[in-house]
Amino acid sequence: MLKKSLRFHRGLQFFIFLIAVAAVLFAIFSFITIKTNVNIIREVITAVKGIASGSLLNEIIRMQQSLANIYAIAIIEILVLLGGVICSLFAIFYLVNLYYLTIKRSLLDELTGIYNRRALYKILDQEIKRAERFKHPLTIVMADIDFFKIYNDKNGHVAGDRLLQKLTKVISSKIRDVDTLARYGGEEFLIILPETPHEGAVKVAERIRKAVEQTRFKGQESQPKGKVTISLGLVTYHGEYGERTRLIQSADELLYRAKEQGRNQLIKAYYRNHEIFAKQEE
């Protein structure tokens, strides 16, 4: 959070610097215009009016008489004015970009680069509304690293952070672009699979579980089973969805059941109109 704050303040300072430069350039332009009594904008307007009135020859003569005095000053005015406009436009663009970058970063987990819980809630609410409107199934998967505390105690928190980053990449490689992966808690992840039938979602979850189990993580020898594994709780809703807390709670309950039954496994359930249709045998 401190790094984000420092980057934001540096960006804001750069924006203020650009505005200050633009203000100085506009001030110089005004000073030159007043002191020399030559205003390139006024000269252009006068020339256009003269040509529009039909006195093209008279306008050419007038311009020739004042060319020696205008050229040098006009070029300086143009350059200064152009510099001020460019600085102003760049400052506005930079501020807008800084704003959207700040908004984006506020929705991302700083360690893993995936969505955080704040973004997750917004996305899940949107997916629930879409599923209710089009009568499509919606699946969410809650995943948790098995014995993560032991891994941290044996290998250190830096190694634990690296494990989370690598695990994120493994999971991301097994889901679609339309799916959403978010860090729900310390070592908990939540995956949203929109418009995904129960059977298809189960295949995705099992593919993720096996991929993690088969991935080589540094320091995995310290784990009780000699490798890093995850437990998953999967729930598919089709019909009356309700609030996001209900879906998350259902997946969380299934996840803890997977923990209680030995870890490194998937517990799943399928609901339709509040009735359970499919459930893993205990």
Q: What is the C-alpha separation between 187 and 76, in angstroms, rounded? A: 62
Which whole-number Å values give the CA distances from 12 to 46, 94, 109, 146, in the listed order?
A: 41, 9, 22, 43
Query: What tokens appear for 19 in the block?
Result: 């505005």
Active-site hit among 187, 206, 275, 281: 187
Query: What tokens appear for 8 in the block?
Result: 């934001």
Which among 181, 195, 186, 175 has a CA at the least distance from the CA of 237? Answer: 195
* Cβ pair 182, 231 in contact under 8 A: no
Q: Is 187 a catalytic residue?
A: yes
Gyration radius of the chain's alpha carbons: 32
Active-site residues: which are they?
187
